[in-house]
């Protein structure tokens, strides 16, 4: 029997795709590291979301052939160890682009319109809230995008639709990509931080990007500016952000990701009134979940059938003459 461990739940469409290919999906009872390791024995494949897969779990199955990442970021997976063992790692770039872009704009809107506080006021019958709340329009404001990949570009399109001036910075994209998107390219991050009313992060977590927003960068932001993060929590120095928010040096933050997840209820971020939080749900729209589940499951099927997957993170492990499918 060929089995695939499902570390965290995925859309039923992905499970059906696996079953139709003769692969039995096995749902892990929990996704803490110890449970994942204990569940790995005899697994031919794994599909994981933000729980990732570390070396002890990878080593726990002698027959593991493919690790499917339900999403774009592979930083929670020990790709180097998988590569050393000849295990394919696949991901799903593009499947949740629109959902994440919409969440970035939703967080910006929630801050500008004080949606959480307004909701609480309405439930309490406090209709005088509108005389006290410093509500703002986004139209005419400057929206700064840090990182201009697929999600950054999609976010730019939504921001422009709101009538915002969009500026961006990227270390890798060509000038023509910015021109085609109708986005003004700025010279560097410092310049963007000094001019944007909303700063939205769209970077992967790498040694070069971790802590890219720290006390210095927060100090460069405009008073009243919003910081949005739907990418990776490691991009922000959270203690520095807590201080900047508590001292009202910036207007607010909209965060979907955190340095440690789940966020502790005791976190200072959870107690600040100029923060809007969501529990890492940006890519979890139903439509995006179905697309992502189909894409990751389809690639698991491909690898186990001896076909090269569409999004192979570690192509050096691929040996088409290895007849992987013969081991099904």
* 253 & 290 share domain: no
* 189 & 212 share domain: yes
Q: Peptide bond before 262: cis, by omega within 30 degrees of 0? A: yes
- Of the candidates 232, 238, 291, 294, the residue annotated as catalytic is 232
Tally of domains within the chain:
2
* 248 & 294 share domain: no
Residue-level length of the chain: 328
Q: Peptide bond before 176: cis, by omega within 30 degrees of 0? A: no
- Cα distances from 105 to residues 166, 201, 208, 289, in angstroms, run 13, 12, 26, 19
* 126 & 246 share domain: yes
* 115 & 261 share domain: yes
Is 261 annotated in the active site? yes
* 161 & 59 share domain: no
Place of tokens 């709340």: 133
Rounded CA separation 144/27 (Å): 40
Give residue 204's domain range.
Answer: 97-277
* 262 & 122 share domain: yes
- Cα distances from 7 to residues 13, 25, 26, 70, 115, in angstroms, run 16, 10, 8, 10, 34
- Of the candidates 132, 261, 308, 327, the residue annotated as catalytic is 261
Rounded CA separation 302/319 (Å): 13
pLDDT tens profile 74-128:
999 999 999 999 999 999 999 999 999 999 999 999 999 999 999 999 999 999 9
Confirm if 156 and 168 have CB atoms less than 8 A apart.
Answer: yes
pLDDT tens profile 147-175:
999 999 999 999 999 999 999 999 999 99
Is 136 annotated in the active site? no
User: Taken in order 104, 109, 111, 116, is the CA torsion positive or negative?
Assistant: negative
Read off the CATH number of the domain in which 61 is found: 3.40.50.720
- Of the candidates 11, 49, 280, 294, the residue annotated as catalytic is 280
- The pLDDT assigned to 327 comes to 39
* 36 & 122 share domain: no
Is 217 annotated in the active site? no
Please state the φ and ψ torsions of residue 68, each to the nearest 5 degrees: -100, 125
Rounded percentage of the chain residues whose pLDDT exceeds 70: 97
* 210 & 102 share domain: yes
pTM: 0.91
* 134 & 211 share domain: yes
* 108 & 254 share domain: yes
* 269 & 290 share domain: no
């Amino acid at each position: 029997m060929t089995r695939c461990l499902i570390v965290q739940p995925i859309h039923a469409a992905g499970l059906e795709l696996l079953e139709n290919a003769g692969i039995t999906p096995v749902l892990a009872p929990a996704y803490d590291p110890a449970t994942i390791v204990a569940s790995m024995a005899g697994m031919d494949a794994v599909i994981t979301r933000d729980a990732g897969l570390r070396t002890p779990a990878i080593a726990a199955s002698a027959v593991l052939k493919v690790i499917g990442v339900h999403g774009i970021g592979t930083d929670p997976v020990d790709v180097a160890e998988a590569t050393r063992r000849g295990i394919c790692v696949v991901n799903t770039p593009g499947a949740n682009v629109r959902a994440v872009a919409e969440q970035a704009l939703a967080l910006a809107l929630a801050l500008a319109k004080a949606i959480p506080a307004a909701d609480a006021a309405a439930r309490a019958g406090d209709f005088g809230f509108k005389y006290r709340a410093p509500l703002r329009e986004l139209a005419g404001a400057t929206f700064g995008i840090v990182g201009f990949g697929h999600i950054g570009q999609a976010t730019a399109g939504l921001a422009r639709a709101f009538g915002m001036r969009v500026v961006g910075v990227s270390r890798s994209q060509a000038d023509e990509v910015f021109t085609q998107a109708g986005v003004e390219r700025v010279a560097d991050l410092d310049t963007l931080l000094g001019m944007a009313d909303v700063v939205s992060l769209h970077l992967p977590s790498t040694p070069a990007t971790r802590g890219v927003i720290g006390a210095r960068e927060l100090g460069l932001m405009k008073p009243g500016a919003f910081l949005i993060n739907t990418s990776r929590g490691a991009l922000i120095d959270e203690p520095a952000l807590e201080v900047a928010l508590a001292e009202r040096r910036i207007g607010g933050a909209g965060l979907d990701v955190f340095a440690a997840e789940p966020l502790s209820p005791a976190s200072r971020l959870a107690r600040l009134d100029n923060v809007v939080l969501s529990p890492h749900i940006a890519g979890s729209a139903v439509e995006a979940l179905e697309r992502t589940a189909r894409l990751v499951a389809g690639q698991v099927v491909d690898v186990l059938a001896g076909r090269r997957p569409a999004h192979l993170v570690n192509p050096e492990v691929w040996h088409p003459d290895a007849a992987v499918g013969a081991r099904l």
